[in-house]
Structures are given as C-alpha cells and as structure tokens.
A and B are shown apart, each in its own frame.
Chain A
Amino acid sequence: MPIKTIREVIGETLSAEMRRDHDVFLMGEDVAGGAGCSGEDDAFGGAFGTYKGMVGEFGRGRVIDTPISESAFIGAAGGAAATGMRPVVDLMFVDFIGVCFDQIFNQMAKFRYMFGGKSEAPVVILAMVGAGLRAGAQHSQMLHPMLTAVPGLKVVMPSNAYDTKGLLTSAIRDNDPVIVLLHKLLFEASCEVPDEDYQIPFGEAAFTRQGNDVTIVALSSMVHKANAVADKLAAQGIAADVIDPRTTSPLDEEAILESVEVSGRLVVVDEANERCSLAADISSLVADRGFSSLRSGIKKVTAPHTPVPFAPVLEDQYIPSEADIEAAVMAVLKP
C-alpha cells in the first residue's frame, strides 16, 4: 500500500471529491495563489502547499482565491451551502476564526435547527491548529474546545494520514457544517493510505494501542505522544489502551466508557488550555457515567491556562510532553 503524508492526502481527497461531485469547490486565501500576479498561477497551493496542482485541474472557478475577508468568505460558504453548493473553505490558521466566528456559530451551525430542519449547510472548514512552530500567541492555538461546544457544528481532529483521508471524505459528504482541524506538526506525518476512496464515520474512536491497565485518551498530535508512552510502559509490563476519538463532536463516549470499565484508570491528554478543555469534558463524562468503574482519580494532561508563548523554551514547556503523560499514568496507577 502506498505511503502518504497528511499534506498529500488532503489535496488528493479534495481533488477526488471535486471530480466526483461538481458542487464541491475550494475557497480561501491563496488556495491557488498568484491571482492577478505576473508569475505562476499555482504559486502557493495553500499556506502549506496542500492544494498544489488543483487550480490547474479545476480552474479558478472551483479553486477560488479570496481577498483577506474571512467574515465574507466563510459566511459565503454557509450561504452557498444553504443554496445548493458544497463548499470546502480553508481558514489557514484556526486563530483567524476570531474574525469570522459569527458566521460559523450563529449562522451556518444553527440553520438546520433554527429553521425547523428546512435548511442545511454542508460546509467543510479546514484549519491548522497547534503550537510548536514558534509562531506566537495568535498563530498557535487549538480552539477545538470552543468549537466542540457549538451545537450544530461537527469537529474532526485527525492524527494520521489514513484517518485524514477517511474523515475528510466523510466531512465533504456530510450534510452538516464540519470543521477539520489539522495539527501543523503533523503535515508530514505519513502512513499507509489506500488509493481507493473510503469513509471513516464520525463519532467512532480508534484504539491506537490496546491494554487493560490504564486508558489514555489523546487528541490530534497528542496521540503520537500517548502511543510512545504506551510503548515505553508496555516494555515495563504496563498495558495501556490509547484512544484517539478522531472527532470531538460527535464524541465516541461508549469507547471511552467501555475502556475505563476494564482499566478503571483514566488519563486524558489534550493540547488545549486546561479550563473547559476536551480533557475536562471527557473527565466529566467518565466521572458522571463511569464513576463506579474508576479505581483511582482521573488525570488531565493539558496546556496551562496561558496564551502560547513565543520563546522556544517556554513553548516547549507549554506543550504537554511524553514525560507529563507518563507521570500522569504513573499517578493513576499508584495503588
């Protein structure tokens, strides 16, 4: 099976969906690049080159470079979706959602419910999340907790290329607004990905490691750290379930509860700021519905309640580390 990176499968999946369904189109700042310029037409292909080649195949009518006007083009995606198109819009860094959040949470996410089920907005918003690039406080946030809290919006957070393809395909075919959050540090992460199309349903977690002693739930890039810790502990005879929910809305609550029922111990790893994080959300779920299975207190491993600092020494300290995860696992395993 071919090995592909997340960056590669995004373009490949989008292109396949655009070939399959003529209503699907891509819009955003510099998704092609070069509009009105003297040089190459396909100069950027998105901030990370994810869409390279697409404007050549589909033309500027379906790969649309926008002015820097997020409220307008994210909102326009909602309007186009409600009237028969299936837009995929690139927000670049998720931090820019501040500019256009009204169009997401007050508009497209509420159409179906507020209009009595008579309208829908099949929009896909792609955005980059996460710290680690020394990009500073306004280019490094996660923000999935805030998005997960919006009824009507679905939130997808793939951790590998295989899942990215299956989840993005589902997102494009889904009839609700979906935001797909891609971790900046994972764009070059690769694994086996089949060429043929497939879907991964939302709300179905993946068990990336299996074991009965402790349950580790981790999201996005944290899945890789959790796996590394699980592998290290396995060598010491400690077997961990590592659960990657893959979508935070809907959330596969049953997978988490069933795992904790066996292990009795839970560590939740989330790069978001601690307060109101997914770690807090999942902890409360288990405290509420899985309390009787717990054999120790729950541990959360999150970023602190601070903005993301610029200085590398501080940013490295800000991001949850393997050592933090291991310490949390050891703490819940203490008799």
Chain B
Amino acid sequence: MASKNSKSNAPMSEAEMLASYRVMKTIREFEWRMIKEFEAGNIPGFIHSYDGQEAIATGVCRNLTDSDFIGSTHRGHGHCIAKGCAVPDMMKEIMARSTGLCNGKGGSMHIADFSKGMLGANAIVGGAPPLCVGAALTAKSKNTGAVSVSFTGDGASNQGTVFESMNLAVVLQLPAIFVYENNGYGEATSAAYAVGSKDIAGRAAAFGMPAVKVDGADFFAVHAVAKEAVDRGRNGGGPTAIEASITRFGGHFVGDPQLYRVDGEVETYREELNCLKNFIDRVCTEKWLTLKSLKIIDSEILKLLDAAVIGALAAPHPKPEDLFENVYKSY
C-alpha cells in the first residue's frame, strides 16, 4: 500500500484514510443516534454502545475483504459497520423490522451478514471465538487465503471457550486472529480485578502465538498490527492475538448509571482516549488530509443516518407467520 501513498510519510493512501475515517465516524454517529432512538422508545430491548472503540473495529476490518470472517460480541454495532453491513438494514434490524438484516428475528445483539463475512454479534459472552476458529478452519481447508477474526472483550477473555479456541487455533495453525478489546470493564467489574494476570496478550502468547498490545485509541497503530496479523494468517503463519486497550465511553448498556466509576472518569477518558480526535489531529497536523474533506464526510454520514432512521421507522413489522419461518430448512 505504501507505493500508493499520496503524501510521502503517510502510512496509507489518502483514499484509504478517508474511507477509514468514514467508517469510524459512521460508527460513532450511529451509536449516538442509537442512544437517541432508544430513549425515544424506538428500539425494543436493550443496546450496548460501541462508541469510543471505533479505531479497533475499523483498524482491523480495513485490512479485510468480504471473503474474510469476523465474529462479534453483544457490543457489535461497530464491528458490523466496519465489516460493511449496510447501515439502513442494521437500523431496521435493531428496530425489529421484517426488512432488517435478520428479518427482525435477531436484534441488536444478533446482527449478522454472511455475505459480508460478518458471522454475527453474539449475546453469549465467549460465544464467538470457537466459531471464528471454525471459519478459519474453512479458510485453511478450502485454501481461500481468508482470515478469521474474533472480537472479544476483556471480560470475555476469561471464558474457557476463549482459551480452548486459542489452543485449537495454534494446534491446527489456523488463520485466526484474536482481537481483545480491553475497555477496562466487563459490566461493573474491572479488568484489573477479573483478568488475574492483568495481561491478556501475555496469556495469549503463552498459548504459542505472537501476541501484541496496541493503543486502541490510535487507528494507525491498530491498523498496522492488524495488517501484520492478517498477512501472517494469509501466508500460512498461523494465529495472532492483539490486545487493544481503550476505555468504555459509556455504561455497560445504554441507561447504566455506572456507579462503579468515580465522577469524571468517563469524561477524562473521553478526552484522552478519543480515537476520532486523535485521528483528526494526526492527519491534519501531518497535512495528510484536510479538515474540509472530513467535514464533507461528516455531513454525508448525518444524512445517511437520518434517512436510515426514517426508513426503519417506516419499514414493516414482521407478520405472524414469520414466527415459524427459518427454524429449519425443512422439518
């Protein structure tokens, strides 16, 4: 990619930087809009917000194509957007409409789009890593050159399924990438308490794979380590683990009063660990991009979201007979 750089010292092309910015900013604006729509009563159930972690999903997924796989978590909107799920169809799904990505059967915690290699958000903590190992096995068996990425929280990193998955991926030398998003919390419990060794990457390394730590608020850093992992996977080099550190910008779920955090903690982090702010500062200081080009993208995103909300609110609800559809292919 370096050869295509329009600016001498930029780590990627101008087009790639603009595209990455668009993804990150879409995720943030999407999540902010979700909160509004949730509070307006337009979203059933509950939602978990990904805002603040945009650089991780984006930095990883900008290295992937539709043939690569990702598995996600209960906090999955950002992963979906970064992997290319259509925002209007996600919106319809989250608003439980029959034209949503999963026909309104899934909801926020179960958005999937297999045509994009998005194997599903997952409401079972630690549910996705074994599935991602399976997708990596498919890639290896069929020799497609694809890689498979599981996104896993710090809390989820303590699940047995996760440890077993890492070992299996090492034993079978699969193109699997274990991305740990250490946002400091699993619900109301800190990672510093629940991760005994306090070192998720270190634990992964002990399974016998390269494991790196990266600043989750730095898109360029995440993109670079992810590129290395993806290249390794594509070239038969086996699995990699990445621990990206960040903080949770909001509550565990939208509406969580976060009593377990002292006043001001979130606000401070929102300033200091703001990946979008970091990105804009960097690209403007280095003169890789102009603020004007970013502002154009901003306004396009707002239009996209307005239209998505209007479209979703007008979309049909599932019909009674839909209840019985798709339990089996045939029965």
Contact = CB atoms under 8 A, between A and B. Distances in A.
Contact of A137 (B110, B190, B194, B317): B110
A312 B104 CA distance: 9
Contacts of B185: 37
Interface string B99-114: 0001011111110000
A35 interface: yes
Interface string A216-248: 000000000000000000000000000000000
Contacts of A34: 188-189, 259-260
A68 interface: yes
Contacts of A70: 159
A34 B193 CA distance: 9
A318 B98 CA distance: 16
B104 A314 contact: yes
B189 A33 contact: yes
Given A36-B189, A69-B159, A133-B45, A304 B323 contact: yes
Interface string A314-327: 10011000000000
Given A68-B158, A138-B110, A98 B124 contact: yes
B96 interface: yes
B37 interface: no
A333 to B, nearest CB: 27
A319 B156 CA distance: 31
Interface stretch (A38-46, A186-194, A207-215): A38-46
Given A29-B187, A30-B187, A98-B124, A306 B324 contact: yes
Given A68-B156, A310-B96, A35 B189 contact: yes
Contacts of B259: 33-34, 39-40, 43
B44 A312 contact: yes
15 contacts: A29-B186, A37-B189, A65-B189, A67-B196, A69-B160, A98-B124, A99-B160, A134-B107, A137-B110, A139-B123, A306-B323, A309-B322, A313-B96, A313-B317, A317-B320
Given A69-B159, A135-B45, 10 more contacts: A35-B193, A36-B189, A37-B260, A38-B265, A40-B260, A99-B124, A99-B160, A136-B45, A136-B123, A306-B323
